[in-house]
């Protein structure tokens, strides 16, 4: 699995450039170019590494428009990646997100969101050289929410979502899946720093090509998941916010029963503006593989690789610290540690299973970036990363990898008034 640590230099520009100007615009258009090197493209064990250099060009745009009591947000990008040696990995990717928030004059509010993304898939789950091929991951998600009683002490709500992952290479067919969920909650919203909610959530998922039967035939596997969610948001000061969810989870598979799970899942997020120049964000999470595949935090930007996860359960801690050294220079330090618990239903590249195997792996990543914003509309940056994995099971393989990424970004909006 490739952990959800993503290139700082490409996307942290949204944070830096957005804070640089006093005026804002509902429309943004821009382009970026990045040059990178990875000394272990396929996350292979020691002695079997493949290194390469690549460049990626990206065009992007965004709309953030308020219309009465409604707000529409749209972000889109298209990119082309070209490799020096492994030209078979050359690919065109894209990203699209849409959000629509609204409310009535009385007590009803709603939100509707959608996401679609294509990127080169993670190679962290590859165990055999046959899987080291060009493989594009298509990820899509739709979610909706409804609240009744916006300003009341008690608020009722409904949430629904549908998500799916597909792969272009046939050897990854076993990891394709779809998940639909529906939930409800009651939220206690008193005047003060604490907000609490609780409610049930039901999910049903399926892996259409879970088991290869030969002659191009596959057997489907389905799972049912039930959660009782308890969430809290605590804002002790204007500089610190804590958000948490603890769920009692019961997940059962029809075929791959070794991945059944019963226990606690959830997350804890802490945002803290320690000083006027220093910001911290930390996320601790625990969830099953079908959920962590969609757990893409925005801590380190837009992913260039997929985040597929086939674990029974994954525990992860992600942190990032930003320090504004000068008006134009920002230093960023990020890291992640994850422990995945694996069962025998994890697949080889041909879709077969490894019988009677259990174990765990630990992964860690550290990233350091230097960012320079010469004007309010531009950003230059370089990121240096080190990634490592250890394992005690043949369901996974150890690796180390070092990455370098340097990029430049230029964005314009309709109200731009020049450099600061």
Tens digits of residue pLDDT in 20-66: 343 457 999 999 999 999 999 998 999 999 999 999 999 999 999 99
State the average pLDDT over residues 305-327: 82
Return the domain boundaries, the chain: 8-26+127-413
What is the three-class DSSP state of 106? coil
Q: What pLDDT, on a 0 to 100 scale, did the predictor assign at position 40?
A: 94
Alpha-carbon distances, residue 84 vs 51, 53, 92, 93 (angstroms): 10, 6, 15, 18
Q: What pLDDT, on a 0 to 100 scale, did the predictor assign at position 166?
A: 94
Q: pLDDT-derived band of residue 375, with 50, 70 and 90 as boundaries? A: very high
Comparison of pLDDT for 214 and 404, the residue scoring more:
404
Contact assessment for residue 304 and residue 119, using Cβ atoms and an 8 Å cutoff: yes
Q: pLDDT-derived band of residue 309, with 50, 70 and 90 as boundaries? A: low
% pLDDT > 90, the chain: 61
pLDDT digits (tens, 9 = 90+) for 265-279: 999 999 999 999 999
Q: E strand or H helix at 381, and its extent? A: strand 378-391
Q: E strand or H helix at 9, and its extent? A: helix 8-11
Taking the C-alpha atoms of 343, 347, 352 and 358 in order, what is their torsion angle to the nearest 10 degrees?
Answer: -20
How far is the C-alpha of 246 from the C-alpha of 39, rounded, in Å?
Answer: 39
Three-class DSSP labels, 200-254: EEEEEEEEEEEEEEECCEEEEEEEEEEEEEEEEEEEEECCEEEEEEEEEEEEEEC
**pLDDT higher than threshold 80 for residue 281:** yes
Q: What pLDDT, on a 0 to 100 scale, did the predictor assign at position 94?
A: 96
How far is the C-alpha of 22 from the C-alpha of 26, rounded, in Å?
Answer: 14
Smallest CA-to-CA distance from 279 within 229, 330, 236 is with 330
What DSSP state is assigned to residue 289? H
Mean of all residue pLDDT scores within the chain: 85
Comparison of pLDDT for 171 and 414, the residue scoring more:
171
How long is the chain? 420
CA 239, 75, 332, 7 torsion-angle sign: positive
Q: pLDDT-derived band of residue 180, with 50, 70 and 90 as boundaries? A: very high
State the average pLDDT over residues 401-408: 93
Comparison of pLDDT for 342 and 93, the residue scoring more:
93
pLDDT digits (tens, 9 = 90+) for 106-143: 789 999 999 999 999 888 777 778 888 999 999 999 99
How far is the C-alpha of 271 from the C-alpha of 275, rounded, in Å?
Answer: 12
Smallest CA-to-CA distance from 160 within 188, 183, 139 is with 183
What is the three-class DSSP state of 112? strand
Comparison of pLDDT for 305 and 332, the residue scoring more:
332
Q: pLDDT-derived band of residue 257, with 50, 70 and 90 as boundaries? A: confident
Q: What pLDDT, on a 0 to 100 scale, did the predictor assign at position 353?
A: 53
pLDDT digits (tens, 9 = 90+) for 237-248: 889 999 999 999
Q: What pLDDT, on a 0 to 100 scale, did the predictor assign at position 121?
A: 87
Fold of the CATH domain 8-26+127-413: Porin (2.40.160)
What is the three-class DSSP state of 290? helix
**pLDDT higher than threshold 60 for residue 13:** no
Place of tokens 């230029």: 410
């Amino acid at each position: 699995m490739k952990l959800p640590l993503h290139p700082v230099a490409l996307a942290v520009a949204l944070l830096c450039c957005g804070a640089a100007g006093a005026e804002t615009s509902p429309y943004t258009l821009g382009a970026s170019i990045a040059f990178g090197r990875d000394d272990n493209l396929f996350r292979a064990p020691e002695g079997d590494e493949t290194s390469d250099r690549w460049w990626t060009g990206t065009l992007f745009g965004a709309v953030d428009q308020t219309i009465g009591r409604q707000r529409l947000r749209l972000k889109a990008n298209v990119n082309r990646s070209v490799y020096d040696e492994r030209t078979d990995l050359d690919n065109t990717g894209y990203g699209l997100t849409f959000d629509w928030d609204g409310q009535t004059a009385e007590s009803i509010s709603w939100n509707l969101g959608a996401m679609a993304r294509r990127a080169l898939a993670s190679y962290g789950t590859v165990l055999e050289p046959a899987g080291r091929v060009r493989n594009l991951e298509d990820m899509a998600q739709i979610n909706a929410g409804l609240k009744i009683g916006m300003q009341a002490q008690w608020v009722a709500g409904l949430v629904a979502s549908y998500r799916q992952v597909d792969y272009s290479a046939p050897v990854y067919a076993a990891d394709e899946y779809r998940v639909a969920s529906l939930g409800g909650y009651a939220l206690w919203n008193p005047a003060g720093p604490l907000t609490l909610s609780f409610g049930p959530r039901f999910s049903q998922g399926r892996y259409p090509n879970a088991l290869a039967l030969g002659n191009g035939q596959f057997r489907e596997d389905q799972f049912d998941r039930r959660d009782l969610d308890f969430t809290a948001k605590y804002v002790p000061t204007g500089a610190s916010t804590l958000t948490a969810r603890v769920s009692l989870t019961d997940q059962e598979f029809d075929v791959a029963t070794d991945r059944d799970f019963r226990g606690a899942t959830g997350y804890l997020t802490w945002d803290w503006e320690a000083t006027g120049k220093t910001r911290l964000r930390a996320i601790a999470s625990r969830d099953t593989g079908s959920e962590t595949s969609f757990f893409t935090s925005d801590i380190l930007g837009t992913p260039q690789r997929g985040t597929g996860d086939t674990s029974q359960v994954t525990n992860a801690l992600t942190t990032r610290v930003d320090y504004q050294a000068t008006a134009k220079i920002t230093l960023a330090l990020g890291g992640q540690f994850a422990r995945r618990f694996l069962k025998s239903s994890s697949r080889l590249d041909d879709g077969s299973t490894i019988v009677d195997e259990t174990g765990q792996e630990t992964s860690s990543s550290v990233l350091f970036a230097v960012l320079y914003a010469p004007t309010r509309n531009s950003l230059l940056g370089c990121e240096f990363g080190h990634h490592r994995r250890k394992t005690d099971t043949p369901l996974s393989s150890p690796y180390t990898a070092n990455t370098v990424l340097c990029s430049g970004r230029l964005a314009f909006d309709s109200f731009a008034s020049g450099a600061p």
